[in-house]
Amino acid sequence: MNIMEVDTVRLDEEKKAVIIIDQTKLPGRIELLELRQAEEIWRAIYLLQVRGAPAIGVCAALGLYVLAEQIQEEDYEGFWFALKKQSDYLNSSRPTAVNLSWALERMEHCLEICHFNGEEDDRAGWLACLHEEALKIYAEDIAVCRRLGEYGMTLIRNGDGILTHCNAGKLAAVRYGTATAPIYVGMEAGNRYRVFCDETRPLLQGARLTAFELQEAGVDTTLICDNMSASVMKQGWVDAVFVGCDRVAANGDMANKIGTSVLAAVARQYGIPLYVVAPTSTIDVHTATGDDIIIEQRPPEEVTEMWYSERMAPERVKVYNPAFDVTDHSLIAGVVTEYGIAGAPYTESFREIFTRKEACGGNPDRQ
């Protein structure tokens, strides 16, 4: 099985299950999981079996529909409260990725509109609305990531060296990914790039996932440790840095996998542009600055024991293990969205991006 030929997350209509690639097993084994119960979906998101802001959002939307199918209440109030309970539970799995709450809120709103309009206002009608909305979120993710790639590839040239961090690739979305979308779309146009992947401690998403999927796609890929970025930049091997993100604040500050802010500072030192590639669903206009973003704290075992046959840190040592850090907007050369590339001042350019989105009716293909 080639990883590039399998959707990261999808709905199996017959089995009434969400099918995901278990990313904790990569690159050693490609394993598909069937998720049907709320606890299974919650754990899959929390344990990073499915990860990456877009993929989490799609998984949550499809998952909430699967759970809705199991709700037996025939009256709207009972159905609504049962769905809301499941939605709130899934939303508690990871606090930083805005796509999670965005997708769940969109599913809730869809049910409210369905009931308000009074069309097929029964359990079968509510399920039909939720089913349609979940599949719409799934299809939009594919279209949006494709657009991200088309805009992002205008920032690089054939033969350029690109540095990535964590995994904002195909495995972080349904297809294409965010930060890797310019690479994949550029390759479809006949371009070739040299890509350097940060291993991305402590969960090694760059080593296990990005390097794996890029190699599967035939990309010239070089794996480096996180603390080697300055070395490859000084050699002149890097022309641009592309990263994804889990939340962008209204002023352009963004939260991404821990280590991104260090990478941004090093890139600034060497005069290399760092671009954030993110769908508009990741831009949180209600969060003023990066200081307002809640940063998820992960278990200390990820630093002291995971990946080692024996513990590699002294017992009882204190561990600080934030999943993300915040990169200041001043270190970001641009934010690539499906409706264009935003630049400083971000409060103004984001306003223009969302105006363009509204004019297109939320469909990037109508631009």
Q: Are 4 and 216 a contacting pair, CB within 8 Å?
A: yes
Alpha-carbon distances, residue 79 vs 82, 105, 129, 151 (angstroms): 5, 16, 13, 42
327 residue type, one letter: T
**Residue 363 φ then ψ, to 5°:** -115, 105
Radius of gyration of the chain from its Cα atoms, rounded to whole angstroms: 20
Alpha-carbon distances, residue 340 vs 158, 160, 170, 278, 344 (angstroms): 21, 21, 20, 11, 13
Q: Which residues are catalytic?
A: 246
Q: What is the DSSP letter of 207?
A: I
Q: Are 206 and 244 a contacting pair, CB within 8 Å?
A: no
**Residue 100 φ then ψ, to 5°:** -65, -55
